[in-house]
Structure 1
Amino acid sequence: MENIRTRFKFGNTADDVRLRRRKSQLYAKEDASRFNSGVLRISVFAVAFRLLNCFLVQSSFVPDEYWQSLEVSHRMVFNYGYLTWEWKEGIRGFTYPLFFALVYKILHYINYDSVNLLIWLPRIVQALLAAFADVKFYFFTRTLENDDVAKWTFFCHLCSWFTFYCCTRTLTNSMEATLTSLALFYFPLPGSKTCSSKKYLTLVAMAVLIRPTALIIWFPLLMYHFWKDDNKLRLITHNYIPIGVLTLVVSTVIDCIFYEKWTLVQMNFLRFNVFHGVAEFYGSHPWHWYFTQGFAVVIGPHLPLFIHGCIIASKRYRVLLVTVLWTIVVYSFLPHKEFRFIYPVLPFCMVFCGISLSSLKTWRRHVAYCLLVTNLLPALYTGLVHQRGALDVMKHLQTLCDTTSSTTRPQPDILFLMPCHSTPFYSHLHCPVKMRFLECPPDLGQEGYVDESELFFRDPLHWLRVSFPDLYSLPTHLLLFDVLEKEISVFLQENKYVKTAAIFHTHFAEGRLGGSIFIYERH
């Protein structure tokens, strides 16, 4: 007993207290070192994965990927190119194109503005931002759940075929999804240890600045934050109003500089797309489309896990589920619908998928394997095969840039006989050759209006003969989908056009979009 008492007394001496304090400091440093090492590993993996993701996506998705970003940026820096009707009417903001214009300007300044760098560097930048958002998303779930749930949620997020397909593209929707993931990290969800009102509101404001419809997603979350906050007046006066006003002022200044007149883009966007229904000109779907098709395609094979996760998730995640449902419902009221519009809700969905997968215990590795395979196939097919012709054809046209300085060959004059905006334009060519495409601005109130693209496809042969009545007015090169070739074959033969390239585009030809793109050159 005496020895035991002695040991206990010894354990309470000043030396032992200092020793225990020293050990606790060492343990804290070791924990911090282990945490930093984990952050580094996750970060390196995310960057490597998204860069690989970037280079494995070699297809086109929608025209806005180029015409609302890179084409505008190219014109801002190099002073030639084409601006679509949205930029003439002032319904698009210059903030997002300015981001890539700065990249272009740096390349131009150091004399490294090669066409390949102009194409790939903006996408690499987008990939790096997506990787940063991936890391933040992982640590967001780790602050709310244990490490096991965080890892499976991160796995589900990286597996998503639609995220793989979209996140490295230069789409405003891609940047909106990236900023949404970053803002979610700082959002004051119950149990979160990283919440910061100013940071998340700044990121939300940036998302709305780039794409005004981001407010649809964040509206229920903003209302939830307001309802839960103890000091509502301070939240409004110190966060909501200052951040909102500052963002609007910065946006308006940028737009007024580049439009060279007073322009409030957000008001114009609302007026054209909601009050005048201009977006409906580009197609409409039934109200239930997102519920019956859109959401199922975007979430893909994750759907069963998402439904299961919604059932078993704790109450604090209800606001995320409400946000997903709210977004789908609101977008369902808009006649023009696209898969990419609801892409930014995927991070919310992945939280539920991760909770579901981690709860399966015995079966989760088998389910994870199935999830990986079923997402990998559509990710690789849509990234490497489907609709790649729109980009591959621009590589063929790049060879024509060498003839612009030639005096023996006629200067290239390229006409795209395709649905408007089917391919990129000068951002993927980077030389001022003469190019023209069939234009399709919407009806802005002109009586009996029919756009040029529609007029052409009503009677292609007649349109060509009227537009080019003599040999001197003929383009040197024609680009068309294979489905049009037979209809204008007489015109091609009469004017000595020869097919010089046939480029695969898609296995799923539909309407005016064919399976291959043909290049005809006049001899």
Structure 2
Amino acid sequence: MNKLQRRKNPNNTNEKKSLKSCEKNENFEEKESLKSFTNQNLLLSLLILFRIINALCTKTYFNPDEYWQSVEVGHYMIYAPRIFQAIFAAIGDLYTYRLARKLFNDPTANWTLFCSIISWFNFFCSIRTLSNSIETVLTIIALYYWPWPTFSNLISWNDRIKMLRVSLSLAAVCCILRPTNAIIWGFLGIHLLWKTKEHLTSIILNTLFITILSILAMTLTDYTFYGEIVFVPMKFLYVNVVQSISLFYGSHPWHWYLSQGIPFITTTLMPFVLKGIYDLINNRHLAHQQSIKTLIWLMAFVIFCYSLLSHKEFRFIYPLLPIMIICAGYCLQDISLKYQKKIRFVVIFLVLTNVPVAYYTNFVHQRGVVDVLNYLRNEAELGKVREIGFLMPCHSTPYYSNLHFNISMFYLSCDPPLNRDQVNYVDEADQFYANPHEFLIKNFHSISSSSEKSIDSKLRKWPNYLVIFEALLNDLTPFLKDSNYKEFSDNVSFDDSLFDPPDNGDLFDSSNDDSSFGIFIPFNNDETT
């Protein structure tokens, strides 16, 4: 009877085989998915370890905003902020790898990860407490979850709309941190609407919902801290674009990002970035070429928009570096396939050109301004410090975020000319460097009677510790010779930089003990030219 049934219904056997095959495929996919999940967790753990070591090894100063727009404002609210940022940096490395894997394959993703780790600028900047650093991490994660049109046949619309919500939420945080990040999402949003017209209403409604929710959350947070309703992005645009206050901190030619910015942050990766971009644009056999070309056009559009602004900085284009690294990773994968014997020389070349730069920028360049605060903190622990004066432009060094003592300190103000005539405005730091002697006579008590209490409260009292740059040592030594300030003679070195502007250079410190008024402390630097 069974034989007859099998003969009558031959499809039964095929169906059973098909079911078994599907079960095997499902089990295989589950195992592969679990294996991939485990591998990526292990990879993330290793990346976190690497970036924490990176953070602990960083001893230098990059940009005032690293301190003065983050940890100086809330240094009492969070512990170990750089370690915290190192974890975010590791997540950024992982998602750069994951985006490359999503767009290409495992080998390209591996080369991308290599480029991300070997990049000297990543090593230098990713672990710093800059808004640009966290912006870069959140941007690459958001790009990974972005519902790229070329994946429409592989992922259902329900899943893609979920991805869109995740991506837009991260993008909203980016725009709150850095309003200029909206340029990225404006470009991608218009492209998505153009390519996905059948879901136009759904995209717009989700975008509006997340935008409104983000604005409410941002406004509530700002109200909590400011005590009044402030719309920060509008204030940001008004001050920096309408009032052009950013020009107070320097202006650059239109081509600066092309001629200096991109070459600086990519250095020896740049040839591979350019070759990768060229190959990606011309390779029509790539499954997701349109998505990749969109990323390339995105880079071009952002650089074009940023080039319209006169004030430019390397860190402003940092969010584009992961995309450049993916292009370099694709190029290296292509080289490894076509020139297997030569790829090792490429790897050696990249290591030898990036590691020394990473070492110099993280251990040597502009280190003195950080070391001086570490020294003063140690002095404060011994109870020697009462007041500290920094005769240097504001934000030249970290401040309470490194000192961690409630000690009176001052620096030469360099406030931007808000509601003032920018042409004729001269800040306190510029006044001092124009004529140090005259400035000190006008703004400080008589140095011979500095230990006495003065009736004139407008004049500054000479501090217990005085910190200056080496460039002013020859000018100020005659002025201070009749005081109790003396040159420090301990074996303490505060090296700064080979490439400082004229008003900087090495640091000198003068301090005084309880009985006298100070000791000049030289910050030696044998390398200064």
TM range (shorter): 0.7 to 0.9
Name the SS of the counterpart of 2:419 in structure 1.
coil
TM-score normalized by the length of structure 2: 0.83
The residue aligned with 2:186 is 219
Task: For 2:112 and 2:96, locate their aligned partners in 1 and report how far apart those are by CA, in whole Å.
Answer: 9
Equivalent AA in structure 2 for residue 393 of structure 1: V
* Cα shift at 1:28: 3.5
Alignment equivalent of 2:305, drawn from 330, 333, 345: 330
Task: For 2:511 and 2:306, locate their aligned partners in 1 and report how far apart those are by CA, in whole Å.
Answer: 42
The residue aligned with 2:505 is 514
The residue aligned with 1:81 is none
Q: 2:408 matched to 1:417? A: no
Name the SS of the counterpart of 2:425 in structure 1.
coil
* RMSD over aligned Cα atoms: 2.4
Unaligned runs of at least 5 residues, structure 2:
1-9, 284-288, 452-460, 519-529
Alignment equivalent of 2:360, drawn from 369, 381, 404: 381
Is the Cα–Cα contact under 8 Å of residues 127 and 167 in structure 1 kept in the other structure?
yes
Task: For 1:320 and 1:201, locate their aligned partners in 2 and report how far apart those are by CA, in whole Å.
Answer: 17
* Cα shift at 1:397: 0.8
Is the Cα–Cα contact under 8 Å of residues 507 and 515 in structure 1 kept in the other structure?
no
Alignment equivalent of 2:372, drawn from 389, 393, 411: 393
Alignment equivalent of 2:275, drawn from 299, 308, 312: 308
Is the Cα–Cα contact under 8 Å of residues 143 and 191 in structure 1 kept in the other structure?
no
Task: Identify if the C-alpha distance between structure 1 residues 263 and 30 changes in structure 2 by more than 3 Å, giving closer, same or farther.
Answer: closer
The residue aligned with 1:84 is none
* Cα shift at 1:17: 6.8
* Cα shift at 1:290: 1.2
Is the Cα–Cα contact under 8 Å of residues 440 and 453 in structure 1 kept in the other structure?
yes
Task: For 1:397 and 1:160, locate their aligned partners in 2 and report how far apart those are by CA, in whole Å.
Answer: 33
Task: Identify if the C-alpha distance between structure 1 residues 28 and 240 changes in structure 2 by more than 3 Å, giving closer, same or farther.
Answer: closer
TM-score normalized by the length of structure 1: 0.84
Deviates more, 1:194-203 or 1:249-258: 194-203
* Cα shift at 1:491: 2.1
Equivalent AA in structure 1 for residue 416 of structure 2: P
Task: For 1:229 and 1:268, locate their aligned partners in 2 and report how far apart those are by CA, in whole Å.
Answer: 34
Name the SS of the counterpart of 1:249 in structure 2.
helix
Task: Identify if the C-alpha distance between structure 1 residues 278 and 123 changes in structure 2 by more than 3 Å, giving closer, same or farther.
Answer: same
Task: For 1:310 and 1:382, locate their aligned partners in 2 and report how far apart those are by CA, in whole Å.
Answer: 28
Equivalent AA in structure 1 for residue 440 of structure 2: L
Task: For 2:245 and 2:21, locate their aligned partners in 1 and report how far apart those are by CA, in whole Å.
Answer: 71
Task: For 2:508 and 2:184, locate their aligned partners in 1 and report how far apart those are by CA, in whole Å.
Answer: 38
Q: 2:415 matched to 1:456? A: no
Name the SS of the counterpart of 1:494 in structure 2.
coil
The residue aligned with 1:59 is 60
The residue aligned with 2:51 is 50
Task: For 1:225 and 1:342, locate their aligned partners in 2 and report how far apart those are by CA, in whole Å.
Answer: 23
Task: For 1:17 and 1:264, locate their aligned partners in 2 and report how far apart those are by CA, in whole Å.
Answer: 61
Aligned residues: 469
The residue aligned with 1:477 is 465
* Cα shift at 1:507: 2.4
Alignment equivalent of 1:489, drawn from 450, 473, 477: 477
Task: For 1:160 and 1:509, locate their aligned partners in 2 and report how far apart those are by CA, in whole Å.
Answer: 24
Name the SS of the counterpart of 1:262 in structure 2.
coil
* Cα shift at 1:29: 4.1
* Cα shift at 1:253: 1.2
The residue aligned with 2:38 is 37
The residue aligned with 1:210 is 177
* Cα shift at 1:191: 4.2
* Cα shift at 1:270: 0.7
Q: 2:314 matched to 1:339? A: yes
Deviates more, 1:47-56 or 1:385-394: 47-56
Unaligned runs of at least 5 residues, structure 1:
1-8, 78-100, 105-117
Task: Identify if the C-alpha distance between structure 1 residues 308 and 459 changes in structure 2 by more than 3 Å, giving closer, same or farther.
Answer: same
* Cα shift at 1:166: 0.6
* Cα shift at 1:445: 2.8
Q: 2:225 matched to 1:258? A: yes
The residue aligned with 1:89 is none
Is the Cα–Cα contact under 8 Å of residues 132 and 316 in structure 2 kept in the other structure?
yes
Name the SS of the counterpart of 1:449 in structure 2.
coil
* Cα shift at 1:307: 1.0
Is the Cα–Cα contact under 8 Å of residues 465 and 509 in structure 2 kept in the other structure?
no
Deviates more, 1:434-443 or 1:286-295: 286-295
The residue aligned with 1:428 is 402
* Cα shift at 1:69: 0.3
Equivalent AA in structure 1 for residue 48 of structure 2: V
Task: For 2:224 and 2:20, locate their aligned partners in 1 and report how far apart those are by CA, in whole Å.
Answer: 65
* Cα shift at 1:14: 8.8
* Cα shift at 1:509: 3.1
Task: For 1:426 and 1:249, locate their aligned partners in 2 and report how far apart those are by CA, in whole Å.
Answer: 32
* Cα shift at 1:49: 1.6
Q: 2:300 matched to 1:299? A: no
Q: 2:238 matched to 1:271? A: yes
* Cα shift at 1:207: 0.3
Deviations 1:77-118 (CA, angstroms, capped at 9, x unpaired): 4xxxxxxxxxxxxxxxxxxxxxxx3xx2xxxxxxxxxxxxx4
Deviations 1:360-403 (CA, angstroms, capped at 9, x unpaired): 12233321221122111111110111111111111111123335
For 1:173-192, list aligned pairs within 5 A: 173-192=132-151
* Cα shift at 1:517: 4.1
Is the Cα–Cα contact under 8 Å of residues 164 and 379 in structure 1 kept in the other structure?
yes
Task: For 1:141 and 1:435, locate their aligned partners in 2 and report how far apart those are by CA, in whole Å.
Answer: 49
Task: For 1:386 and 1:172, locate their aligned partners in 2 and report how far apart those are by CA, in whole Å.
Answer: 21
* Cα shift at 1:431: 1.1
Q: 2:216 matched to 1:249? A: yes
